[in-house]
Amino acid sequence: MTDPTNMQQSTSNHFSTDRGRRSSCCSFCDHSSCDLATEMNEFEPQTLSLTPPLENVYFKEQNQPFSCIYLLNLFLAPDMTRYLAETSISDDVYTLPVHLQKLICEARMEVLVSKQENHPLEGGAVKRLEKVREYIESVAHYDTAAIIATLSELTRDEDEMSIILEQ
């Protein structure tokens, strides 16, 4: 059997071993004179110009911008229940850990159901969110930068969050 890297397609769509490898649909160009490692597709320069370098996409964790804007706004809102009722859940909530997503969605549903039925709010999810908010305020002392840092830490540390919710 011949080495497939030294095969070339002839004009009759058969491979021969006298030159470099050619595409199965190409009998025009000669690839023996070019280095395949440096050869580029005609669309590749355009793709490379549209795609940012990987070091710009994957930052170290501490250098990434805070992406939980909905959660930050929720905890900074003067009235969390009103914020839950009047704002829709944004896409950044779905980047949070599942237990936080569930807690926010449950609290929002509790608020919406209590408003529809004109009942006082008795929901446990809203109370759990209030506990998290109180913890963040006790640690961050109303400093927005510290609130962001505390929220980032809580979203990464499920054990800490479960301890807060159990108190």
Q: Where are the beta strands (DSSP E) in 3-158?
A: 8-9, 15-16
- What confidence tens digit (pLDDT) does each residue in 91-132 have? 888 888 888 889 999 999 999 988 888 777 777 899 999 999
Listed by start position, the domains of the chain span 67-166
Which of 6-20, 66-80, 95-109, 130-144 shows the lowest per-residue confidence on average (mean pLDDT)?
6-20
Question: Any idea of the CA torsion for 161, 101, 124, 85, to the nearest 10 degrees?
Answer: 130
Q: What percent of the chain has pLDDT over 70?
A: 59
Amino acid at 24: S
